[in-house]
Chains A and B, each alone.
Chain A
């Protein structure tokens, strides 16, 4: 009797040992009760649907087990468009070389050129030629793709913001009070970082003014950089400087380039850094209507809104044309491009950070809280 018990016990142990020695997929096979084909399926005549589904489930379970925990309510996704990423890189490199050559040739020419002694009114060194300021088409394609990819997912940030608006509707006085600050660690691929002018450059400030005037908003933005990828928690950005062309830069280089602009800012309210998050139409409409409703309430009840910032909602709606003088509408940054065609005639700038977005696009613009 004892011997029979021992044999049964040994058999049970052997079975359990088989389970312990199994791979993760094997264990999942046991869980799902389906056989997963682990071999090359190219020789088989057709696809096994069950295997595919089970494989997908298994893969998602494994990836969820081994991936880093997505804490916080903004999930960080990696850019999926590797091919565009490469094309943009190559194109940017070519453009950068061409521009560097042109600039060098120009400098040489200016060195050899004999100027009249008393005619140096125009400083050529500060001048950005029009064609050097042109935006590379590959860069534009990449930006659009990034934004489109982003729109395929629900923007949790927007959802949360809307909830806050609804919840705090009665309490706070201005839209600005509700606008959350996005932290630099929460940046996602597709987020466009809006950078203000440098304090020490007259040219930069004038450019921002012209830009804002030409685009009929009070956005104080001279440059945009797009977050394109998150690798091991470090962000990569796509920068497009006039003399360099599109270039992928690391987070460290990003801080190195634009860090001084951040430090020169006195307070968060005046912080020129902003982040534009792409929203799909439904999200944009929902948020916009709510913001408008609140603004209407404010206009009826209170005196003119004291603080007008360039942060808020961007988008396009003809209805706003008649309301542009309304300070709050400007404060929410409702976006129109009435002068985009005449801009080159006025400013000589073909394409500015403020006119980056297409007319149909909605963006949630929030202040960016930078922390190294």
Chain B
């Protein structure tokens, strides 16, 4: 008898467990697929980083490193060695001077080549093409322009993959899908509301950076409770010249199906910012 009761209990517990896991599986499947996509992105990112490294390493005798110190740029000559670290690329120049370009700092970098003309003896002039990576500038002579363009493209690839990962677009996409499928709209929690109001006040007082920080905090508490966070973030980021981040946030806002007028506004802003980035 006891044996029967024991076996029934085990069976019931097993059934209960399987029921629970079946319920969780629906959610976890969504997250798993997002995580899987992210892991694929990570692999792509590693590949792209290596590509950047190979390009820089193979052509190290073709470009010079300049260090931008505000109003003046110092020429550090050709790099002796190039290293790939976890966070970025390191250029080792003469006298053991090291200049590191961290990928994370290139989130909003505009990879646009610019040229400078300098006069030399005999009335000749030399054109140099330059690529700015934060405070480090890679410069090449006129004939190496295509090589620099190729390096810039590799960096753009890294930047895109990195931004996809940082802004968690895959996870957000899945969260939005769940949010849309659910009949109950999530309510804004008090702390989130506090951050939003504080951000508004800072924005009114021209303190955009502080407002952005607070809005990010609010978004982290509940990503879909107040969709306007992303619109506000995008506007403020664009105002502070961080157009890539602005575009990502605007895309998030669009995912949350805003009213038609706002949708139109968001789309036109994105096109505007893309034009600025590509020119």
A contact set with B: CB distance below 8 Å: 105-106, 109-110, 112-116, 119, 122, 124, 127, 129-131
Interface contact A116-B235, CB-CB below 8 Å: no
Listed stretches B80-88, B93-101, B195-203; interface member = B195-203
- A–B Cβ pairs within 8 angstroms, 7 of them: A112-B231, A115-B200, A116-B197, A119-B197, A122-B201, A122-B204, A124-B204
B140 CB, nearest partner CB in chain A, Å: 36
CA A109 – CA B235 in complex, angstroms?
7
Counting chain A CB atoms within 10 Å of each CB, the highest count among B196, B204, B206, B228 belongs to: B204
CA A194 – CA B93 in complex, angstroms?
61
Chain B residues near A109: list those with CB within 8 A.
203, 235-236, 239
Interface contact A112-B193, CB-CB below 8 Å: no
A185 CB, nearest partner CB in chain B, Å: 43
A102 CB, nearest partner CB in chain B, Å: 9
Interface contact A114-B204, CB-CB below 8 Å: no
How would residues 163 to 202 of chain B score, 1 for a CB under 8 Å from any chain A CB and 0 otherwise?
A: 0000000000000000000000000000001001100110
The one of B197, B205, B206, B232 that contacts A113, using a Cβ cutoff of 8 Å: B232
Interface contact B200-A116, CB-CB below 8 Å: yes
Interface contact A114-B201, CB-CB below 8 Å: no
Interface contact B203-A113, CB-CB below 8 Å: yes
The one of B205, B231, B239 that contacts A129, using a Cβ cutoff of 8 Å: B205
The one of B193, B200, B206, B228 that contacts A106, using a Cβ cutoff of 8 Å: B206
CA A24 – CA B239 in complex, angstroms?
68
Chain B residues near A114: list those with CB within 8 A.
228, 231-232
Given A110-B204, A129-B205, 9 more A-B residue pairs with CB atoms under 8 Å apart are: A109-B239, A113-B200, A115-B200, A116-B193, A116-B197, A119-B197, A122-B201, A124-B204, A127-B204
Interface residues of B in 195-239 (CB under 8 A from A): 196-197, 200-201, 203-206, 228, 231-232, 235-236, 239
Counting chain B CB atoms within 10 Å of each CB, the highest count among A105, A109, A110, A119 belongs to: A109
Counting chain A CB atoms within 10 Å of each CB, the highest count among B196, B201, B235, B236 belongs to: B235
CA A127 – CA B265 in complex, angstroms?
27
Interface contact B196-A113, CB-CB below 8 Å: no
How would residues 234 to 254 of chain B score, 1 for a CB under 8 Å from any chain A CB and 0 otherwise?
A: 011001000000000000000
CB nearest neighbor in B for A348? B205
Q: A109-B235, A114-B232, A116-B200 are in contact. Are A129 and B265 (CB under 8 A)?
A: no
Chain B residues near A116: list those with CB within 8 A.
193, 196-197, 200
CB nearest neighbor in A for B265? A112
CA A116 – CA B193 in complex, angstroms?
9
Chain A residues near B204: list those with CB within 8 A.
110, 122, 124, 127
Interface contact A113-B193, CB-CB below 8 Å: no
B64 CB, nearest partner CB in chain A, Å: 36
B153 CB, nearest partner CB in chain A, Å: 32
Chain A residues near B235: list those with CB within 8 A.
109, 112-113
Please provide the 3 A-B residue pairs with the shortest distance between their CB atoms, ordered closest to farther.
A114-B228, A124-B204, A129-B206
Chain A residues near B239: list those with CB within 8 A.
105, 109
A228 CB, nearest partner CB in chain B, Å: 32
Chain B residues near A122: list those with CB within 8 A.
200-201, 204-205
CA A316 – CA B220 in complex, angstroms?
56
Interface residues of B in 22-63 (CB under 8 A from A): none
CA A122 – CA B204 in complex, angstroms?
8
Chain B residues near A130: list those with CB within 8 A.
206
CA A116 – CA B215 in complex, angstroms?
13
CA A162 – CA B200 in complex, angstroms?
57
CA A106 – CA B211 in complex, angstroms?
14
Chain B residues near A106: list those with CB within 8 A.
206
Chain B residues near A110: list those with CB within 8 A.
203-204
A113 CB, nearest partner CB in chain B, Å: 6
CB nearest neighbor in A for B253? A114
